[in-house]
Chain A
């Protein structure tokens, strides 16, 4: 390994290097072991969190006799798609899918645009009444919504939006959702705007355009992750909303998926558990797809907004 002519100091250095390498190897090994341990913990957490979802899907695939069996079975021995078929063939299923998609789509687009404008005002300008506006936004988040259902119905009836006509009925739900989602969106987007370095904004102004012009042309792209993150929250909340949709949409062909789903349990007679679980699985799928599509961007987005908030 070393020749006799080498100095002791060099040997010492080598030994030290070896020692360090060994320490590194040890540390690496320790790190790998600890990573494996953390992975196990992670898998356990995954199992616990996802179990209810698994149980829903597994029940949906079981024939009635197994659902009713006294001793629960983990997986079906003879899985069937019957419940899914039944759920899809129930009246108004496709109407409900269409209505949910329209409502969520329009709500998210309009909310984000309007909230963005207001967020610009809050993040970039001082003006009289600004703090009043902020307090009002937070105040709306605090309102017990159940107390507002009936007066809200009355005001929408005055606008002729509580009829059977699908356009009007869906409009009623959309503006209701916007009302309750705008405050959250304004506040989140304001956080993202504050996160943009001042230098970028100032550079944008070099060409002499107004502050707003600078925003739209240069800075809007930078806040895109924030827009995505906020829209995810809006989408999930609007997709899952039930109380307002149930009261505002009287006609069954205008129902959203969550309202449609409530008809499984709303009869005075028996509940079709298999059908309900299959329908629930179907209801969850579009949101999951949407989320998987955007989740890579939300990780960044939420951070940028929240830290500065």
Chain B
């Protein structure tokens, strides 16, 4: 910047001030118009997770146009949310009294909001939804509170084993494992054949409690049960301990992942795509991201139980659609009915999701896996158990040997009971 006289500078300042004043007036004008009435009354606001935006935007668009055709004067405003922050935003809109008309919730997020009275009762509308008598048991249960229905199952995910056919073949595994013991033996063969640094025959993140609890439920254990209205932690019971012991044994043989890391850091398919993994346990959509190199040699099978020929129960994760209080219930129900119709669910199924009802289930690997599932205790404080990382802490202690299985499980069990019984 060259030499300026004060006068020139003053001029610039004056322009600056004028611009500022203009902007201020513009904002003031905006503020003034803000007071005069809201937007069109007939807007149905729908909050979906951005999985829909990335995966099946066409379905959303066609359901919207169908809805708008059958509801003249209405338009649908779909606002995509992200999983990490949607609850905080939802809380704010609840407090502000302008929540959306339809919101997508993770099924493990439902209980707390149902208990607090955030949603409208849909019990009387149940028959409006296709296949509502055959909804997947896990999803249907997490949409029900105190005998009433507050959510409509939308999609489910299932957990399967994604594996490299070429590596299984070269390790001499001709038959896919049908029991945990067979899978363990296969893992040993894979390890012997592939001895590069950090190679995992079966990649499991150390604190992936979704996998670990599947072992617990497979051995007949549970995380917690209610008795006389009080929660009791049951991870220290013999069946659960057997499951945890089996998990540790399997992990030690099969996984070279960090014993302290979570299942999204890295995602299991990241080392898989790097060629460092022969198989991984997790969501069926993991096959999306195994890398171009391995796409053609990647297949899936159902995670076997310790009982030969049985599947191991997988976490019944999924989404529900709920109608917050204050929303236009009739319109919301119509939109949900269209979005979860048999036709729509077939589209979702084609995108690799598990549809919401048993009569729609096909025979693909992920749909077979969805037939046997487990779910977290439906307690309103369960979220706090997850936030408190009680299960993850327990798993890290067990796998690193900092505590015996028994002690770690007993500590976790006490913590869980304490948390769930908080008022």
Contact = CB atoms under 8 A, between A and B. Distances in A.
Interface of A: 64-65, 68-70, 91, 105-106, 109-110, 112-113, 149-151, 153-154, 156-157, 159-165, 167-168, 171, 174-175, 217-218, 220-221, 224, 227, 246-247, 250-252, 262-263, 265-271, 296-297
Contacts of B27: 106, 110, 171, 174-175
B386 to A, nearest CB: 15
Contact of B9 (A91, A109, A149, A224): A224
Contacts of B53: 91
A243 B6 CA distance: 42
Interface stretch (B206-214, B269-277, B376-384): B269-277
B364 interface: no
A219 to B, nearest CB: 10
B50 A162 contact: no
B92 A68 contact: no
Nearest to A106: B23
Contacts of B176: none
Contacts of B31: 159, 161, 171
Contacts of B387: none
B330 interface: no
B265 to A, nearest CB: 10
B33 A167 contact: yes
A269 B20 CA distance: 44
Contact of A246 (B51, B80, B85, B285): B85
B30 A168 contact: yes
B93 interface: yes
Contact of B88 (A165, A221, A247, A270): A247
B120 to A, nearest CB: 20
Contact of A266 (B13, B26, B83, B98): B83
Can you list the 8 inter-chain pairs with the closest CB atoms, starting with the nearest? A266-B82, A157-B96, A221-B9, A153-B92, A70-B274, A270-B289, A109-B20, A113-B20
Interface of chain A, main secondary structure: helix
B13 A220 contact: yes
A251 B77 contact: yes
A67 to B, nearest CB: 9
Given A110-B24, A168-B34, A263 B50 contact: yes
A64 B26 CA distance: 46
Centre residue among A68, A154, A156, A265 by max chain B CB count within 10 A: A68
14 contacts: A70-B275, A109-B24, A149-B88, A153-B93, A154-B95, A156-B96, A218-B6, A221-B10, A251-B77, A252-B79, A262-B85, A267-B83, A269-B55, A269-B285
A262 B6 CA distance: 46
B227 interface: no
Contacts of A268: 49, 51, 83
B162 to A, nearest CB: 13
A217 B6 CA distance: 10
A165 B92 CA distance: 18
A167 B30 contact: yes
Contacts of B92: 149-150, 153-154, 247
Contact of A171 (B21, B34, B49, B288): B34
B19 interface: yes
A247 B97 CA distance: 14
Contacts of B98: 157, 162
B49 A217 contact: no
B79 A269 contact: no
B350 interface: no
Contacts of B274: 68-70
A220 B16 CA distance: 11
A33 to B, nearest CB: 35
Contact of A271 (B13, B80, B267): B267
Contacts of A164: 39, 77
Given A69-B274, A167-B33, A250 B9 contact: no
A157 B26 CA distance: 20
A68 B291 contact: yes
B13 A221 contact: yes
B3 interface: no
Contacts of B35: 159-160
B61 interface: no
A227 B390 CA distance: 51
Contacts of B79: 250-252
Contact of B82 (A65, A68, A262): A262
Contacts of A65: 291-293
Interface in B68-85: 77, 79-85
A246 B10 CA distance: 39
A270 B269 contact: yes
Interface string B1-14: 10000100110110
Centre residue among B30, B81, B276 by max chain A CB count within 10 A: B30
B88 A267 contact: no
A68 B19 contact: no
B17 interface: yes
B58 interface: no
B89 interface: yes
Given A110-B24, A267-B49, A250 B89 contact: yes
B91 interface: yes
B38 interface: yes
Contacts of B23: 105-106, 109-110
